[in-house]
Homo-oligomer: A and B are copies of this chain.
Amino acid sequence: MSIRAVCELGYVSDSVSRVHGRTLAAVTEHASATVGRAERTGGRAERKERTRQKLLDATLQMVTTRSLASVSLREVARDAGIVPTAFYRHFDSMDALGVELVDECMRPLRQMTRDARRGTSNRGDIIAGTVAILGRQVREHPAQFQFLTRERYGGVSAVRRAIAMELRLFTSELTVDLARLTAGGDWSSEDLEMAADLMVAAMLNTVLRLLEVDHRHREDEQRILSTSERQLRLIALGMAAWRSG
């Protein structure tokens, strides 16, 4: 007897659908039980952290195909294998979860900045190195970048604000780097920010392009990265010819 049939008989209650959900969750858990029976180990704090992470992961997974605003608290809880009300032991609301998810997804981006800066100290081509790092980060953390780009102008204002803040930080760091690189040239800080903003826009555009191609086609990926590199090079050429003020 299907759940549907049960419902049509008017024998419906919240419990029925929840049991259905739990069944699915249990199956999923079983299928992805790579860690085996290591579920019930660790102290209370550790296990709470694990559940919390499951909630974040489940949400991130869903947001790769839909917008955060359309993901429900119940759905996330179901996927994480807990009852809806237990959600509140970890987050005040889906909005709050979203904001924390921004922080988590920013880590790849921050890592990228660090990597790129280290590459700068080497003797290689700064632009080529940066683009390569960008490509690698997007390939390795597609869901995170998907989330950030989708929700950057998405429906949840708290998340929008959080992303905007982090992105402003990113731009200002790049501004500092540009200041070092153009030392000696007569660049006003306003113009440096303008250039950094343009570069960030170009790179975000690249991220979007990378995300919308099937990443198994390495040739498409390479074409996009090549375009990105030439765009940054074009900007660099422009900067070399720039007279500030």
Contacts and interface: CB of A to CB of B under 8 A. Distances in A.
B205 A197 contact: yes
Contact of A201 (B153, B201, B236, B237): B201
Q: What number of copies of this chain does the assembly contain?
A: 2
Interface in A22-77: 66-67, 69-70
Interface stretch (A9-17, A84-92, A104-112, A226-234): A226-234
Interface residues of A, number: 34
A178 interface: no
A194 interface: yes
Contact of A238 (B191, B212, B238): B238
Contacts of A230: 191, 194
A183 interface: no
Contacts of A164: 212
A137 B163 CA distance: 26
B198 A155 contact: no
Nearest to A223: B190
B150 A153 contact: yes
Contacts of A198: 202, 205, 231, 234-235
Interface of A: 66-67, 69-70, 149-150, 152-155, 164, 191, 194-195, 197-198, 201-202, 204-205, 208, 212, 227, 230-231, 234-242
23 contacts: A66-B155, A67-B67, A67-B155, A69-B69, A69-B70, A69-B155, A70-B70, A70-B155, A150-B155, A152-B153, A153-B153, A153-B208, A154-B154, A194-B230, A195-B231, A195-B234, A197-B227, A198-B235, A201-B205, A236-B238, A237-B242, A238-B239, A240-B241
